[in-house]
Structure formats: C-alpha cells, structure tokens
Amino acid sequence: MARILHDRKEGRFYMRTPDGDAELLYGVRSGIMYIYHTYVPEGARNEGIAEKLADAAFAFAIKSKLKVKPACSYIEYYLSKRKEMQIYAVQ
C-alpha cells in the first residue's frame, strides 16, 4: 500500500490511489488542529485508508503538542472507535 504524505503548507495528509488522492484536511489555530475533511475515492474505500490518514494526523498533533478538534464526521467516528485518542481531542 502507498505511504501517507503530508503537505504542511496546505494542511493535508494524503495517499495516492489508482482512483485519485485520499485526503484529510486540517488547519491549526491557537494550539488546536481542526480536522475538517476526510475523503477516500470510492474505488479505494473499505481498505482502512481513512483510518491510516487519521492515525497520521493524530501522530502529528501529538508530536506537535496540539489538541485535535474533530470537525468532520469521520474523525468523530474514529474517536468513538479509538478511545485512547480521545485524550488528545477537544469538543
């Protein structure tokens, strides 16, 4: 499987797939990482790509000492399944 890429300038974690880029978009303000969009092309769904993007985003937030504000439905779902990551989130 392809690796996760990170474009800090654009606020984007992404993975190239044959059907286009899967991506997670974010912005940072006042020590909070706002994750506002997660997308995986239809042909690449159900392969765990969104989870890998979220894992990468949370790893970046933790390393950067940022809290995460989920502003998209996938990240809310991710946090419901990954309870250990909830300590890094703000509501």
Give the tokens for residue 14: 């992404």
b/e per residue 22-42 (b: at least 16 CB within 10 A): bbbbbeeeeeebbbeebbbee
How many distinct structural domains can be found in the chain?
1
Is residue 67 within 8 Å of residue 88, measured between CB atoms? yes
Residue 87 binned pLDDT confidence (cut-offs 50, 70, 90): very high
Does the model's pTM come out above 0.85?
Answer: yes
Q: How confident is the model at residue 1 (pLDDT cuts 50, 70, 90)?
A: low
* Residue-range definition of the domain harbouring residue 44: 5-88
Q: What is the pLDDT of residues 8-63, one digit of tens each?
A: 999 999 999 999 999 999 999 999 999 999 999 999 999 999 999 999 999 999 99
pLDDT tens-digit map of 64-75: 999 999 999 999
Distances (CA, A) of 26 to 16, 36, 60, 72: 18, 6, 11, 10
Task: Give the CATH number for residue 81.
Answer: 3.40.630.30
